[in-house]
Structure 1
Amino acid sequence: MAGMMEGEPLIAGIELGGTKCIATLAQGRVILQQRRWPTGTPDTLNLISDALAQWAEQTPFAAIGIASFGPLHLDARAPNFGHMGNTPKPGWAGCDIYGHFARRFDVPIAIDTDVAGAALAEGMWGASQDCAVHAYATIGTGVGLGVVVNGQAVHGHLHPEAGHMRIRRQPGDQFAGACPSHGDCLEGLVGGPGLAARLPMPVAEMADDDPHWDQIAGDIAEWTTMLILALSPERLVMGGGVIQARPKLLPLIARQSARLLNRYIEALDAHALEQLIVAPGLGADAGPLGAILLGQQAAMARGDG
C-alpha cells in the first residue's frame, strides 16, 4: 500500500460515537484510509466489520482498537467484557461490541471508551504530551471524561462516568434536564439533547455574544472546577461538537473556573487555566487516533508491534 512505513504495524481503529462511527486504517499516527457512518442500530457494526474485511483483503492489519461511547464493561475477567452497559441509546444496551469483531477477525483487539482513547492519543501525540495526569472531556451528543495517569487510562468498578455528575445550577435556571437517568446532570444540561431543548436555535447558529454562552460556560465551569479539585490534572483537553462549534467557549470556561476556584489554588488564575483547559491538539482526529493507539497497544501486548 502506497505511503506505508517500514517498522510500523498497520492498525485498524474503530471509533463508535453517539452520532457517528469512524473506521480508520493507520500506521503510527498517519491515517491511510477512513470510512464514516451515522450511528444507527447495532447493525452498524456489520457495516464497519465489512469495511475492515475489505481493507484486510488488500493489506492485513496487525490489530484492532475500539474506542466506543459507553458505559462499557471493561473487566477482562468478567463474562460481559466488551459489552455495552445501560446506555440510553436505543438498541445498544448489552451489545457485545468486542465479541462482534473478535469473532470475525483473528487479530489482537483492545477496547476502551472513546474519551479514554482520545485522552491516550492526546497524551502520546497531542496537547497532553509530557503530562503525568491528564484528561479528555467531550461535550457533544453526550458528555464524557477519560482520565489518564502515568500513561494508563483509569478504570475501576467501571470507568469514569463524570458526565453524569450533578452540578450547582445557575441562578434562575429551572430547566429539568434531558438525561433519561438523572435529569439535570451535566450531560442533561449541556449534552446535545439538553441544548436542543433549552436553546432557541442550534449552537452552530448562535452569535458569539449570545448570552446563552455564558450560561453554558457557567455550567461546564462548575464541572471543570470539580474535576480540577478532584483529579489535579496537568491538562484538561475539551473536545466534542459543542466545543468545535464554538471554540471561544473555552476561554469563557477558563475564566468562570478561575472565579469559582476563587484563588484557592494560587497558581491557577484565569491565564493559567487557559493553558490547562485547551482544545485537542489532534483536532477532530483525537478520537480516531485514540482507537489506533489502543490497537497499537494490543499489537505490542501480543508481540506483533
Structure 2
Amino acid sequence: MLVGGIEAGGTKFVCAVANEQLEMIEKISFPTVSPEETLKQVFAFFDQYHVAAIGIGSFGPIGVRPDQPKYGYVLSTPKKGWENFDVLGTLKSRYSIPMYWTTDVNTAAYGELKMGAAQGCSSCIYVTVGTGIGGGIIVDRQIFQGISHPEMGHFFVKRHPEDTYKGCCPYHQDCLEGLASGPSLEARTGIKGEQLTADDPIWELQAYYLAQALVAYTVIVGPEKIVLGGGVMNQDHLLQKIRRHFLKAINGYVQVPSVEEYIVRWELPNESGLIGALLLAMELTNQ
C-alpha cells in the first residue's frame, strides 16, 4: 500500500509517495505558480502511483470546517491567483480516495510530535519563523482547530520601546509576523537574515518578540513542548536568546520544564510538514 503527501507552500509544492513503513518512494518539488499549472504538476506526479490516501498541508488561511462552503479552499491569501481557490475539491475531482486537509504548520506540528522533537509528548506547539510566522497546535495527540485553524503569527505583541519599524504584515502591519518574520529582518537592516552576523543587535529584538509569543502560547495552551522551525531559526544563537527572553518575560508565573527541554528546534528540518502529511494519510487508511 502506498500513501501520498503534499506540502503545499506559498513558494513551492513538495509531493511524495511512501510505503506502509513511511519510506519515501519518490519526492519532488516545484515552484508554486498559478493554481492550474501547479496542480497540473501535482497530477502528473500522483498519476504514476495508486495511492490509498493523500495528506495535504497547505499555506493559508484555508477553510478547515467540512460543514462550511469554503472547506478545502485557500482563502484570503496575497498569493496571486490562489485566493478563494478550491484546492481540495480540485484534487478530489481527480482522485476518489480519502484526503486529510489542514495547514502546512499543522502537518509540521504532527510530524514533529510523531517522529521529531516532540516524540513522547501528547501535546506540543510548532512555530515556523521564515517568510511568515505560523503555528500548529497538537492536543491529546490530535490537531487542534476550532472555527478556523490557529493563526499564531497574527496577534499583537508589545512593541520594544526603541523599535520604530512600522511592520511588514500586509493585513495587520505590526503583528508578530510583521515585526519578527524574515522579511522584517531584511527591511530593518537591508540584509537577508541568513547573511546577518550572530552579534548583530537585531537578533535581540527578534528574540524579544518571539519570546513574547512563546509566553502567550504557554499561558494559554500550556503545551508539553514548543518546537521552533523555519529558515530564521537555523541559528543556535537565536534559540539561546529566545530562551533567555522567555524566562525573563514569564518571570516564574507558570512552571515549565527546563527551558532547554521546553523550547527546542525542529528535528525534521524542511521535512516536518511533508512527513506529517504522510502520517495523516496513513491514518486515513486505518479508519
What is the TM-score normalised by the length of structure 1? 0.89
Are the aligned partners of 2:57 and 2:273 in contact in 1 as well (CA < 8 Å)? yes
- Segment of structure 1 superposing worse, 179-188 or 44-53: 44-53
Are the aligned partners of 2:207 and 2:245 in contact in 1 as well (CA < 8 Å)? yes
Are the aligned partners of 1:18 and 1:141 in contact in 2 as well (CA < 8 Å)? no
- Residue in structure 1 matching 2:252, options 251, 256, 263: 263
Alignment of 1:128-143 (within 5 A): 128-143=118-133
Residue 38 of structure 1 is matched in structure 2 by 31
- Residue in structure 1 matching 2:7, options 15, 24, 28: 15
Q: Structure 2: how far apart are the matches of 1:111 and 1:297? A: 13
Q: Structure 1: how far apart are the matches of 2:114 and 2:171? A: 34
Specify whether residues 266 and 66 from structure 1 end up closer, same or farther in structure 2 by C-alpha distance, changes over 3 A only: closer
Q: Does 1:158 align with 2:151?
A: no
Provide, for residues 192-213 of structure 1, a one-character-per-residue CA deviation record: whole Å limited to 9, x for no partner: 3323322231111111111111
Are the aligned partners of 1:141 and 1:192 in contact in 2 as well (CA < 8 Å)? yes
Residue 290 of structure 1 is matched in structure 2 by 276
- Segment of structure 1 superposing worse, 141-150 or 17-26: 17-26
Provide, for residues 171-228 of structure 1, a one-character-per-residue CA deviation record: whole Å limited to 9, x for no partner: 2111111111100111112223323322231111111111111111111111111111
Q: Structure 1: how far apart are the matches of 2:256 and 2:194? A: 34
Name stretches of at least 5 consecutive residues in structure 2 with no aligned partner. Answer: none
Alignment of 1:56-205 (within 5 A): 56=49, 60-205=50-195
Q: Structure 2: how far apart are the matches of 1:109 and 1:153? A: 15
Q: Structure 1: how far apart are the matches of 2:272 and 2:65? A: 24
SS in 1 for 2:110: helix
Q: AA paired with 1:278?
A: V
Identity %: 37
Q: Structure 2: how far apart are the matches of 1:187 and 1:267? A: 25
Q: Does 1:49 align with 2:35?
A: no
* Structure 1 ranges of 4+ moved more than 3 A: none
- Segment of structure 1 superposing worse, 127-136 or 220-229: 127-136
Are the aligned partners of 1:66 and 1:109 in contact in 2 as well (CA < 8 Å)? yes
Residue 243 of structure 2 is matched in structure 1 by 254
Are the aligned partners of 2:118 and 2:124 in contact in 1 as well (CA < 8 Å)? yes
Alignment: residue pair count: 285
Provide, for residues 24-73 of structure 1, a one-character-per-residue CA deviation record: whole Å limited to 9, x for no partner: 1112332221111122222312212221113x1xxx11111100111111
Q: AA paired with 1:254?
A: R
Q: Structure 1: how far apart are the matches of 2:28 and 2:77? A: 24
Q: Structure 2: how far apart are the matches of 1:191 and 1:299? A: 37
Shift of 1:88: 2.1
SS in 2 for 1:238: strand
Shift of 1:165: 0.7
SS in 2 for 1:111: strand
Are the aligned partners of 2:112 and 2:268 in contact in 1 as well (CA < 8 Å)? yes
Q: AA paired with 1:265?
A: V
Specify whether residues 185 and 47 from structure 1 end up closer, same or farther in structure 2 by C-alpha distance, changes over 3 A only: same
Specify whether residues 39 and 199 from structure 1 end up closer, same or farther in structure 2 by C-alpha distance, changes over 3 A only: farther
Q: Structure 1: how far apart are the matches of 2:207 and 2:40? A: 39
Specify whether residues 287 and 247 from structure 1 end up closer, same or farther in structure 2 by C-alpha distance, changes over 3 A only: farther
Shift of 1:283: 2.2
Shift of 1:266: 4.1
Q: AA paired with 1:53?
A: D
Residue 221 of structure 2 is matched in structure 1 by 231
SS in 1 for 2:72: coil
